[in-house]
Structure 1
Amino acid sequence: MPPTTNPNIQVPAARALLADNPDTLVVDVRTPAEFETAHIDGAINLPLDQVDAHLNRIVADAGGRILLICQSGNRANQACAKLAGAGLADATVLDGGMNAWISAGAPVNRGRQRWSLERQVRLVAGAIVLVSVLASIWYPPARYVAGLIGAGLTVAALTNTCAMGMLLARLPYNQGAGCDVNTSLTRISRAGAAK
């Protein structure tokens, strides 16, 4: 199958893809806790940091079309770029991620409800800025902390990466029931071998 020219597809196209080609691998690159909260039936949870760690194996074993999903599309786009750079020709990203999937009323498997990583980043960044601005009333240099957070968020937007998000993803809260990376990689390998 030729490489896709636009790796992002909308929810209706993704649903049609899954209906027309049930062998499409659905790889969810969110944290295990986010995956546990809500995921597409049959999806394989392989957090973004594990995509990095196992890039060559995924490319060698995938064998066909992969639909990448995260919460809003940013992490899935990062994974898609890495996989394409490593030679995987047919990876597609669900535009808008699980937010769009759920908003469209598409079916999901639900588990224990937790905050998404993006929401956690907004909470932590906002709280640090608020506390540092309030603290600057008594200790003026504290305002620089707010400036550093602003600079970090600007860099995150420009580079489409988020250091704070990567740190928060490692907290026990975001590990959920856990992601067995070997099981996920084996499912990718088996699905690729079946194609």
Structure 2
Amino acid sequence: MNIKKITPQQLREKLARGALLIDIRHADEHRREYIEHSLNRPLDDLQQKIETDATCVVFHCQSGLRTQANIERLAKTAEHVAEVYILDGGLAAWKKAGFATVADKGQPLPLMRQVQIAAGGLVLLGVLLGYGVSPWGFLLSGLVGAGLVFAGISGFCGMAVLLSKCPWNKR
């Protein structure tokens, strides 16, 4: 199956004709801001074929990178649909084109940004402790760095798991 890219203007026309729009971002990203009537089916959950009567399906993410990187996987989940597209530039292109989104400003920062802030803060703290208090403070920075390397290799981020259980991330 050949999945083509479409512009936000083309997507708008297809939506008016009944196309199904699928947002493959994580649920917390989708809750924060989404295109009206889009269905959230995170990429990690797309294991089987999408059940729809729609003759046209359009996938999108934040910037278009995730959809492009997973184009074969998306094609398999929608191989029974006549027309399948990805939104070129994702949600960012949709907004840049001046089209409305539904936003919930009460949502916390995206989990990955929370991880970046926490990891960066711990590394900085370790360096400050290492120079100002004891050389053992550098161990904190090393442990955070090792955790990030492990997360990159394994796909499991313990810090993200911990942060997801924090009260501000419970909704």
**TM-score normalised according to structure 1 size:** 0.60
Question: SS where residue 143 of structure 1 aligns?
Answer: helix
Pairing 1:123–2:123 present: no
- Post-superposition shift, 1:42? 1.1
Q: Give every structure 1 segment of 4 or more consecutive aligned residues whose post-TM-superposition deviation is greater than 6 Å.
A: none
- Consecutive unaligned residues of structure 2, counting only runs of 5 or more, are none
Match of 1:180 in 2: none
Alpha-carbon distance between aligned partners in 1 of 2:163 and 2:96, rounded to the nearest angstrom: 24
Higher helix proportion, which one? 1
Question: SS where residue 30 of structure 1 aligns?
Answer: coil
Counterpart pick for 2:39 among 41, 44, 60: 44
Match of 2:86 in 1: 93
Pairing 1:35–2:26 present: no
Counterpart pick for 1:56 among 48, 71, 76: 48
Match of 1:82 in 2: 73
Alpha-carbon distance between aligned partners in 1 of 2:5 and 2:122, rounded to the nearest angstrom: 34
**TM-score normalised according to structure 2 size:** 0.66
Percent identity at matched positions? 25
Per the alignment, do residues 36 and 142 of structure 1 end up closer, same or farther by CA in structure 2, a change over 3 Å counting?
closer
Q: Do 1:31 and 1:169's aligned partners in 2 also have CA atoms closer than 8 Å? A: no
Q: Do 2:8 and 2:94's aligned partners in 1 also have CA atoms closer than 8 Å? A: no
Letter aligned with residue 47 of structure 1? P
Question: SS where residue 136 of structure 1 aligns?
Answer: helix
- Post-superposition shift, 1:3? 1.5
Alpha-carbon distance between aligned partners in 1 of 2:25 and 2:170, rounded to the nearest angstrom: 10
Counterpart pick for 1:147 among 133, 145, 148: 145
